[in-house]
Structure 1
């Protein structure tokens, strides 16, 4: 059972709380949300704008019951590069292909949501019991651990003691605010940790403000509109390059919903229903692609913030979405936020990604998974090593199912084929209301 909430799902924060908590969520998702477009040659500003739009759509579809934030999906990095290509300068060659593929992904989400609405979700729970889902959640957290550590201590692939010190100051500050302070300060460890880390970074001279001085106050994001900036033409290559990844992202979505449910003590698979959350995710992705943003997914980073702060209010998530939209149009604010050193974001990520992994461990404990049972031991062991080890099943030189995706698929298969599988007759994810 969750600890007592500081602000529960429908509690309305004060103006001061709304601003500070919303900025905290915006900072938590910012690094990952703009990193994806940077890696695939799209616009960071449009990714930030569409994350806010997608989150608002998600909140409406889920009847304002699910405090989840939608950001850029890492699962689609390789598929986007495959269908859109990159120039030597790191700019997307055919970004329209990625947008068309993302729209198709959104439609597939809607179709799956419709099937679940008509047939129920118990069959899905039989395919994805805790012994499969929990290790995958651990992989989600620990699989990103090397990314967090690399962000914290390396600059352009080389170790930097100065940057690593900024990461550690950020991490230690967040821990101190969370553990040793009370009331409002203990509820904002992420934001306060970043502020402390940023000030320290200024002091040691690792922040360059040149871009801030040159930036315009108001600046439109780089929109990509079908029929205006590219021809809308669905091809088999786009479909096969993007759509199969939904197997992975739907599993990720379910994992996040289960973790979030445990954090806030709700059963989101039942209410508002898995069909609604999947539909919200899909419509968010579709709306994002219509104007040039990458595919979306519910963000583990923000679930980590919820777990740490115990502030579950959907108004705070809505506030974060509005802040993201506003910031995306401000050239100077975007420039300031982008001056936050990667090391500072890395220090916070160490804590956030660890929280996600720990949530997977908690799911195993709370569901009384018996590791004296060899079947359970085999499934969890294989998922963990394949996922964290980065095993890959390569179909072409540029397309592969790897890491978390491969681990999730193999975990599902092992659960179905190994003898001794228990068929779920009741909702094993039931939580107290």
Structure 2
């Protein structure tokens, strides 16, 4: 595979005066999206920061320090976390995340034993693409509700909140389209900060929590008192401490959460391929897709033990690698450590909590649309032919069942609903209908590592 000029190689340790700056870049790249997921799902942003940090460190260890990838909150799990939380609370969502993490481990084991061909047969682009579209469109109403209505009200329209959401959206779009370099990778952060400042001029920002934190710090009478005022223990939700897992776990939670793990595993594979091209090393071969998927799964299990959302590799941080050419895992690890520290800083938690829902709604309008569009992009990139009736049938059924909110009531306690049902039916249709090869398109998503290397040689004129 073609080697790229690197400012810092994967296992190279940066000089101390650069280390902090380089790590902070990665922290800023993931910050906006990572705190948005817990904000939308009712989880603690501080816990999300801590769990993403520990998850990233675990990922680095499992991949033997060979893959410079940062893990943050997964958007794919927003819908199932919200749905499970309605019936089983946060503990139920954590048990669902735990089961999703186990699926990662099972898939990693199967890849070790049988390779990746079987995974392509179950999850070809014609199934995964429409499911991703459904995930984005299914969240659309959430974004609009946050943008248009007063928080805590029963859909009471607010022109002020909607204006704040639109200004936030405009700033995010401008940052995404017109900014260059590293700044183009953090449009969410620019949108949140800009929207927050505009919301302050509209009088909808509650800064009482920030003022309370500042008062506690300034009124402390000793250095130890200042430290106690600055640092706070996040509101972790720990199994066997805060709840009994056996009393919470259920088949309904499994049916809601587990199918989404299959979708994120496919996204993870795409990220690994992009990362391989950026760094110039075939990570699907070494350390192997099985190890990187296992790392994702362990990070998700860690998050479920702390009360945070499931973790996944972040495209924003891959973009940072592409721009800076700094591939050092030590820089990624530094960002993870800083994220953990930030999770314990009360002032940061207070600032995050003061962000108006309208600001998050404005950012979400773009983000959820991007999720849906990325599913469409997957279909285009893999050259899926919709002139083939089987492809048209599979995508159509997935879209209508998922967006329409269809469900199967198995019994009084178990319901297979919405996106999960759409994913399951999509997989079954793909396995049953003839002409499976037509659903794979150009079939490059799960190419063997050897084939990836051959393709790279051909592109470079080596073979």
TM-score band, normalised by shorter chain: 0.7 to 0.9
Q: 1:173 aligned to 2:171?
A: yes
Per the alignment, do residues 426 and 120 of structure 1 end up closer, same or farther by CA in structure 2, a change over 3 Å counting?
Answer: farther
Kindly name which structure, 1 or 2, has the bigger radius of gyration based on alpha carbons: 2
Structure 1 position 106, deviation (Å): 3.6
CA–CA separation in structure 2 for the residues paired with 1:168 and 1:133: 31
Aligned to 1:342: 357
Secondary structure of the residue that 1:401 maps to in structure 2?
Answer: strand
Secondary structure of the residue that 1:205 maps to in structure 2?
Answer: coil
CA–CA separation in structure 1 for the residues paired with 2:300 and 2:352: 24
Q: Choose from 387, 395, 418 the match for 1:403.
A: 418
Q: Contact (CA 8 Å) 2:382, 2:442: kept in 1 or not?
A: no
Secondary structure of the residue that 2:436 maps to in structure 1?
Answer: coil
Deviations 1:206-254 (A, max 9, x none): 10111112234221123455555556x746x725354455641322222
Secondary structure of the residue that 1:393 maps to in structure 2?
Answer: strand
Secondary structure of the residue that 2:33 maps to in structure 1?
Answer: helix
Q: Contact (CA 8 Å) 1:304, 1:355: kept in 2 or not?
A: no
Bigger drift between 14-23 and 113-122 goes to 14-23
Secondary structure of the residue that 1:428 maps to in structure 2?
Answer: coil
Bigger drift between 275-284 and 57-66 goes to 57-66
CA–CA separation in structure 1 for the residues paired with 2:437 and 2:336: 41
Q: Contact (CA 8 Å) 1:52, 1:321: kept in 2 or not?
A: yes
CA–CA separation in structure 2 for the residues paired with 1:179 and 1:100: 39
Stretches of structure 1 lacking an aligned partner (at least 5 in a row) = 87-91
Q: Contact (CA 8 Å) 1:54, 1:296: kept in 2 or not?
A: no
Structure 1 position 135, deviation (Å): 1.3
Q: Contact (CA 8 Å) 2:126, 2:384: kept in 1 or not?
A: yes
Per the alignment, do residues 77 and 181 of structure 1 end up closer, same or farther by CA in structure 2, a change over 3 Å counting?
Answer: closer
Structure 1 position 343, deviation (Å): 1.5
Deviations 1:327-347 (A, max 9, x none): 221122101111111211222
Structure 1 position 20, deviation (Å): 4.4
1:226-265 to structure 2, matched below 5 A, reads: 229=242, 234=246, 238=249, 240-245=251-256, 247-261=258-272, 264=275
Aligned to 1:32: 37
Secondary structure of the residue that 2:230 maps to in structure 1?
Answer: coil
1:19-418 to structure 2, matched below 5 A, reads: 19-38=24-43, 43-62=44-63, 63-65=65-67, 67-71=69-73, 73-74=77-78, 75-79=80-84, 82=87, 85-86=88-89, 95=91, 103=98, 105-156=100-151, 157-215=155-213, 216-225=229-238, 229=242, 234=246, 238=249, 240-245=251-256, 247-261=258-272, 264=275, 266=277, 272-290=287-305, 292-294=306-308, 296-298=310-312, 302-303=314-315, 318=333, 320-396=335-411, 399-418=414-433
CA–CA separation in structure 2 for the residues paired with 1:7 and 1:349: 34
Secondary structure of the residue that 2:337 maps to in structure 1?
Answer: helix
Q: Contact (CA 8 Å) 2:109, 2:290: kept in 1 or not?
A: yes
Secondary structure of the residue that 2:416 maps to in structure 1?
Answer: strand
Per the alignment, do residues 224 and 348 of structure 1 end up closer, same or farther by CA in structure 2, a change over 3 Å counting?
Answer: closer
CA RMSD between the two structures: 3.7
Structure 1 position 37, deviation (Å): 4.3
CA–CA separation in structure 1 for the residues paired with 2:370 and 2:130: 14
Secondary structure of the residue that 1:422 maps to in structure 2?
Answer: helix
TM normalised by structure 1 equals: 0.80
Bigger drift between 143-152 and 4-13 goes to 4-13
**Greater helix share, 1 or 2?**
2
Aligned to 1:89: none
Deviations 1:145-166 (A, max 9, x none): 2222222222233222111111
Bigger drift between 417-426 and 399-408 goes to 417-426
Deviations 1:74-107 (A, max 9, x none): 334444555xx45xxxxx6xx4x76666555544
Structure 1 position 416, deviation (Å): 0.9
TM normalised by structure 2 equals: 0.76
Secondary structure of the residue that 2:437 maps to in structure 1?
Answer: coil
Bigger drift between 210-219 and 105-114 goes to 105-114
Bigger drift between 377-386 and 263-272 goes to 263-272
Q: Contact (CA 8 Å) 2:300, 2:309: kept in 1 or not?
A: yes
> How many residues were matched structurally?
411
Structure 1 position 379, deviation (Å): 0.7
Q: Contact (CA 8 Å) 2:165, 2:362: kept in 1 or not?
A: yes
CA–CA separation in structure 2 for the residues paired with 1:5 and 1:206: 48
Structure 1 position 122, deviation (Å): 0.5
CA–CA separation in structure 1 for the residues paired with 2:96 and 2:137: 29
Q: Contact (CA 8 Å) 1:26, 1:321: kept in 2 or not?
A: no
Per the alignment, do residues 407 and 180 of structure 1 end up closer, same or farther by CA in structure 2, a change over 3 Å counting?
Answer: same
CA–CA separation in structure 2 for the residues paired with 1:368 and 1:197: 38
